Amino acid sequence: MRKQIPFYNQIPLYAKKINKTDNKGVHSSPTTKILSSPKWLLKFAPVSSIIKRSPKLMARKEVKKSSVLEKFTTHAEENKEGKDGAAPVTPTKERKLTNDEPKIEASKTMKAQHVPWIDSSKAQELLVSPNMNTEVIRLPNAVKVNQSVLQKTKEVKSDLLKSPSLFLRDSSAKDIVGSLLYCECGNSCDGESTVCSTCLKSKETIENTGYLYLKAKSTKLKRYWYILLNKELYCKARQNYLNRLQE
Protein backbone atom coordinates (compact mmCIF):
# COMPACT_ATOMS: atom_id res chain seq x y z
CA MET A 1 0.00 0.00 0.00
CA ARG A 2 1.10 3.49 -0.80
CA LYS A 3 1.36 5.72 2.22
CA GLN A 4 -0.71 8.85 2.17
CA ILE A 5 1.33 11.88 3.12
CA PRO A 6 -0.67 14.66 4.75
CA PHE A 7 -0.95 17.88 2.85
CA TYR A 8 0.65 20.03 5.54
CA ASN A 9 3.90 18.05 5.05
CA GLN A 10 3.80 18.77 1.34
CA ILE A 11 3.22 22.50 1.66
CA PRO A 12 6.86 23.45 0.76
CA LEU A 13 6.37 21.71 -2.62
CA TYR A 14 3.45 23.97 -3.49
CA ALA A 15 4.74 27.16 -1.89
CA LYS A 16 5.90 29.97 -4.13
CA LYS A 17 7.60 33.26 -3.29
CA ILE A 18 6.24 36.31 -5.07
CA ASN A 19 7.88 39.71 -5.15
CA LYS A 20 5.49 42.60 -5.44
CA THR A 21 6.22 46.10 -6.64
CA ASP A 22 4.29 49.23 -5.84
CA ASN A 23 3.15 51.87 -8.28
CA LYS A 24 6.24 53.86 -7.47
CA GLY A 25 8.50 50.95 -8.36
CA VAL A 26 9.59 50.08 -4.82
CA HIS A 27 10.07 46.38 -4.06
CA SER A 28 8.23 45.18 -1.00
CA SER A 29 9.14 42.07 1.04
CA PRO A 30 8.41 38.76 -0.81
CA THR A 31 5.23 36.94 0.07
CA THR A 32 4.66 33.17 -0.01
CA LYS A 33 1.57 31.72 -1.68
CA ILE A 34 0.49 28.12 -1.53
CA LEU A 35 -0.65 26.61 -4.78
CA SER A 36 -3.15 23.87 -4.47
CA SER A 37 -2.13 20.63 -6.16
CA PRO A 38 -4.25 19.43 -9.12
CA LYS A 39 -4.84 16.10 -7.36
CA TRP A 40 -6.41 17.76 -4.34
CA LEU A 41 -8.41 20.10 -6.51
CA LEU A 42 -9.92 17.13 -8.33
CA LYS A 43 -10.62 15.27 -5.14
CA PHE A 44 -12.34 18.07 -3.27
CA ALA A 45 -14.13 19.72 -6.16
CA PRO A 46 -17.85 19.89 -5.35
CA VAL A 47 -18.84 18.68 -8.82
CA SER A 48 -16.74 15.54 -8.62
CA SER A 49 -18.10 14.65 -5.18
CA ILE A 50 -21.69 14.98 -6.45
CA ILE A 51 -20.94 12.79 -9.45
CA LYS A 52 -19.35 10.11 -7.25
CA ARG A 53 -22.42 9.92 -5.06
CA SER A 54 -25.00 9.43 -7.79
CA PRO A 55 -24.75 6.34 -10.02
CA LYS A 56 -26.87 7.96 -12.71
CA LEU A 57 -24.44 10.79 -13.25
CA MET A 58 -21.55 8.33 -13.26
CA ALA A 59 -23.28 6.34 -15.97
CA ARG A 60 -23.86 9.45 -18.01
CA LYS A 61 -20.20 10.33 -17.68
CA GLU A 62 -19.26 6.87 -18.92
CA VAL A 63 -21.61 7.21 -21.89
CA LYS A 64 -20.03 10.47 -22.88
CA LYS A 65 -16.56 8.95 -22.71
CA SER A 66 -17.57 5.90 -24.72
CA SER A 67 -19.30 7.97 -27.39
CA VAL A 68 -16.16 10.02 -27.92
CA LEU A 69 -14.04 6.88 -28.11
CA GLU A 70 -16.48 5.26 -30.51
CA LYS A 71 -16.36 8.24 -32.78
CA PHE A 72 -12.61 7.95 -33.13
CA THR A 73 -12.65 4.19 -33.49
CA THR A 74 -15.33 4.26 -36.21
CA HIS A 75 -13.28 6.75 -38.18
CA ALA A 76 -10.25 4.52 -37.88
CA GLU A 77 -12.16 1.48 -39.10
CA GLU A 78 -13.67 3.33 -42.00
CA ASN A 79 -10.23 4.58 -43.04
CA LYS A 80 -8.90 1.03 -42.92
CA GLU A 81 -11.67 -0.15 -45.22
CA GLY A 82 -10.88 2.63 -47.58
CA LYS A 83 -7.25 1.55 -47.77
CA ASP A 84 -8.25 -2.03 -48.60
CA GLY A 85 -10.18 -1.23 -51.74
CA ALA A 86 -13.23 0.84 -51.26
CA ALA A 87 -13.33 4.60 -51.52
CA PRO A 88 -11.90 6.33 -48.41
CA VAL A 89 -14.28 8.21 -46.27
CA THR A 90 -13.47 11.78 -45.40
CA PRO A 91 -12.78 12.37 -41.68
CA THR A 92 -14.90 15.52 -41.66
CA LYS A 93 -18.06 13.47 -42.06
CA GLU A 94 -19.44 12.42 -38.69
CA ARG A 95 -21.56 9.33 -38.27
CA LYS A 96 -24.93 10.17 -36.84
CA LEU A 97 -25.92 8.06 -33.87
CA THR A 98 -29.36 6.52 -33.92
CA ASN A 99 -31.82 7.14 -31.11
CA ASP A 100 -31.40 3.64 -29.58
CA GLU A 101 -27.60 3.57 -29.52
CA PRO A 102 -26.98 5.76 -26.46
CA LYS A 103 -29.51 3.70 -24.50
CA ILE A 104 -27.72 0.47 -25.38
CA GLU A 105 -24.41 1.95 -24.40
CA ALA A 106 -25.85 3.14 -21.16
CA SER A 107 -27.16 -0.31 -20.39
CA LYS A 108 -23.75 -1.81 -21.06
CA THR A 109 -22.09 0.60 -18.68
CA MET A 110 -24.75 -0.03 -16.07
CA LYS A 111 -24.16 -3.76 -16.30
CA ALA A 112 -20.44 -3.27 -15.96
CA GLN A 113 -20.96 -1.21 -12.83
CA HIS A 114 -23.51 -3.70 -11.43
CA VAL A 115 -26.22 -1.06 -11.38
CA PRO A 116 -29.72 -2.59 -11.61
CA TRP A 117 -31.40 -1.69 -14.86
CA ILE A 118 -35.05 -0.68 -14.68
CA ASP A 119 -37.40 -0.98 -17.61
CA SER A 120 -39.18 2.11 -18.86
CA SER A 121 -42.57 0.75 -17.75
CA LYS A 122 -41.28 -0.01 -14.24
CA ALA A 123 -39.64 3.36 -14.01
CA GLN A 124 -42.91 5.06 -14.86
CA GLU A 125 -44.66 3.03 -12.15
CA LEU A 126 -42.04 4.06 -9.65
CA LEU A 127 -42.41 7.68 -10.62
CA VAL A 128 -46.17 7.48 -10.14
CA SER A 129 -46.00 5.54 -6.85
CA PRO A 130 -46.07 7.62 -3.63
CA ASN A 131 -43.37 5.50 -1.91
CA MET A 132 -40.76 6.43 -4.47
CA ASN A 133 -38.53 8.32 -2.07
CA THR A 134 -38.66 5.71 0.73
CA GLU A 135 -35.58 3.56 1.01
CA VAL A 136 -37.04 0.30 2.29
CA ILE A 137 -40.58 -0.95 2.62
CA ARG A 138 -40.95 -3.33 5.56
CA LEU A 139 -43.22 -6.26 4.97
CA PRO A 140 -45.04 -8.01 7.83
CA ASN A 141 -43.23 -10.98 9.35
CA ALA A 142 -44.51 -14.32 8.27
CA VAL A 143 -44.68 -16.29 11.55
CA LYS A 144 -45.69 -19.89 11.54
CA VAL A 145 -47.93 -20.59 14.52
CA ASN A 146 -47.48 -23.93 16.24
CA GLN A 147 -50.67 -25.82 15.51
CA SER A 148 -50.41 -28.07 18.58
CA VAL A 149 -50.53 -25.06 20.90
CA LEU A 150 -53.52 -23.63 19.05
CA GLN A 151 -55.46 -26.85 19.33
CA LYS A 152 -54.96 -27.06 23.09
CA THR A 153 -56.13 -23.52 23.79
CA LYS A 154 -59.78 -22.65 23.47
CA GLU A 155 -59.42 -19.00 22.53
CA VAL A 156 -56.43 -17.87 20.56
CA LYS A 157 -55.70 -14.19 20.47
CA SER A 158 -53.16 -11.98 18.83
CA ASP A 159 -51.34 -11.69 22.16
CA LEU A 160 -50.19 -15.29 21.87
CA LEU A 161 -47.04 -14.38 19.98
CA LYS A 162 -45.97 -11.42 22.06
CA SER A 163 -42.42 -10.46 22.81
CA PRO A 164 -41.30 -10.80 26.46
CA SER A 165 -41.02 -7.04 26.94
CA LEU A 166 -44.58 -6.47 25.76
CA PHE A 167 -45.77 -9.40 27.79
CA LEU A 168 -44.25 -8.00 30.98
CA ARG A 169 -45.55 -4.51 30.29
CA ASP A 170 -49.13 -5.65 29.90
CA SER A 171 -48.88 -8.42 32.48
CA SER A 172 -51.40 -6.77 34.80
CA ALA A 173 -54.33 -9.13 34.65
CA LYS A 174 -54.40 -9.91 30.93
CA ASP A 175 -55.20 -13.35 29.70
CA ILE A 176 -52.62 -14.70 27.33
CA VAL A 177 -53.79 -18.18 26.60
CA GLY A 178 -57.30 -19.29 27.33
CA SER A 179 -58.25 -18.90 30.97
CA LEU A 180 -54.75 -18.21 32.39
CA LEU A 181 -54.62 -14.93 34.25
CA TYR A 182 -51.61 -13.27 35.76
CA CYS A 183 -51.35 -10.75 38.56
CA GLU A 184 -49.13 -7.65 38.63
CA CYS A 185 -46.66 -9.51 40.84
CA GLY A 186 -46.33 -12.29 38.25
CA ASN A 187 -48.15 -15.06 40.10
CA SER A 188 -51.05 -16.85 38.46
CA CYS A 189 -54.53 -15.90 39.64
CA ASP A 190 -57.17 -18.35 40.78
CA GLY A 191 -60.46 -18.35 38.94
CA GLU A 192 -61.67 -15.16 37.31
CA SER A 193 -60.06 -12.77 39.79
CA THR A 194 -57.39 -10.44 38.46
CA VAL A 195 -55.37 -10.38 41.70
CA CYS A 196 -53.52 -13.31 43.25
CA SER A 197 -54.12 -14.55 46.81
CA THR A 198 -50.92 -13.00 48.22
CA CYS A 199 -51.75 -9.58 46.79
CA LEU A 200 -55.30 -9.85 48.14
CA LYS A 201 -53.97 -10.55 51.61
CA SER A 202 -51.62 -7.59 51.45
CA LYS A 203 -54.40 -5.25 50.29
CA GLU A 204 -56.68 -6.28 53.14
CA THR A 205 -56.53 -4.12 56.24
CA ILE A 206 -55.08 -5.81 59.31
CA GLU A 207 -56.93 -4.81 62.43
CA ASN A 208 -56.62 -6.02 65.99
CA THR A 209 -57.51 -4.38 69.23
CA GLY A 210 -57.17 -5.44 72.85
CA TYR A 211 -55.55 -4.90 76.19
CA LEU A 212 -51.89 -5.67 76.61
CA TYR A 213 -49.77 -5.34 79.73
CA LEU A 214 -46.34 -3.83 80.14
CA LYS A 215 -44.05 -4.23 83.12
CA ALA A 216 -43.47 -0.81 84.70
CA LYS A 217 -41.32 -2.29 87.43
CA SER A 218 -40.53 -5.83 88.36
CA THR A 219 -43.47 -5.78 90.78
CA LYS A 220 -46.00 -3.70 88.84
CA LEU A 221 -48.00 -4.20 85.62
CA LYS A 222 -49.54 -1.41 83.56
CA ARG A 223 -52.50 -1.93 81.26
CA TYR A 224 -52.69 -0.31 77.80
CA TRP A 225 -55.24 -0.37 75.01
CA TYR A 226 -53.46 -1.30 71.78
CA ILE A 227 -54.78 -0.83 68.26
CA LEU A 228 -53.11 -2.41 65.26
CA LEU A 229 -53.80 -0.87 61.84
CA ASN A 230 -51.78 -2.42 58.99
CA LYS A 231 -48.19 -1.55 59.94
CA GLU A 232 -48.94 0.89 62.70
CA LEU A 233 -49.36 0.01 66.35
CA TYR A 234 -51.18 2.63 68.40
CA CYS A 235 -51.09 2.66 72.17
CA LYS A 236 -53.65 4.35 74.37
CA ALA A 237 -54.21 4.26 78.09
CA ARG A 238 -57.98 3.96 77.76
CA GLN A 239 -60.39 2.03 75.61
CA ASN A 240 -62.55 5.09 74.86
CA TYR A 241 -60.15 6.18 72.16
CA LEU A 242 -62.04 4.25 69.47
CA ASN A 243 -65.39 5.66 70.56
CA ARG A 244 -64.01 9.18 70.33
CA LEU A 245 -62.78 8.50 66.79
CA GLN A 246 -66.20 7.21 65.74
CA GLU A 247 -67.88 10.34 67.10
Partner 1 sequence: MHTLAGTFIKDELEDIFDKKTVLYPFSLYFMHNKKTFYALKKDEKVSWMKALKEAIGYSSLYDYYELKVLLG
Rounded to a whole number of angstroms, the minimum distance from the CB of residue 247 to partner 1 is: 21
Under the binding rule (CB under 8 A), the answer on residue 215 touching partner 1 is yes
- What gap in Å lies between CA 56 and CA 116, rounded to an integer? 11
- What gap in Å lies between CA 42 and CA 5, rounded to an integer? 17
**What is the contact mask toward partner 1 in residues 161 to 200, using x (rule: CB under 8 A)?**
----------------------------------------
Per DSSP, the three-state class of 114 is: coil
Per DSSP, the three-state class of 205 is: coil
Number of chain positions touching partner 1 (CB under 8 A): 20
| β 232-236/220-229 pair status | antiparallel
Rounded to a whole number of angstroms, the minimum distance from the CB of residue 242 to partner 1 is: 15
Residues 6+ positions from 233 with CB-CB distance below 8 Å: 226, 227
Residues 6+ positions from 37 with CB-CB distance below 8 Å: 10, 13, 14
- What gap in Å lies between CA 153 and CA 20, rounded to an integer? 95
Give whichever of 76 and 228 is closer to partner 1, judged by the CB atom: 228
Under the binding rule (CB under 8 A), the answer on residue 216 touching partner 1 is no
Residues 6+ positions from 92 with CB-CB distance below 8 Å: none
Rounded to a whole number of angstroms, the minimum distance from the CB of residue 187 to partner 1 is: 16
From 233, 237, 238, 240, residue interacting with partner 1 (rule: CB under 8 A):
233
Give whichever of 154 and 217 is closer to partner 1, judged by the CB atom: 217
Rounded to a whole number of angstroms, the minimum distance from the CB of residue 245 to partner 1 is: 14
Under the binding rule (CB under 8 A), the answer on residue 244 touching partner 1 is no
Residues that bind partner 1 (CB under 8 A): 201, 206-208, 210-215, 219, 221, 226, 228, 230-235
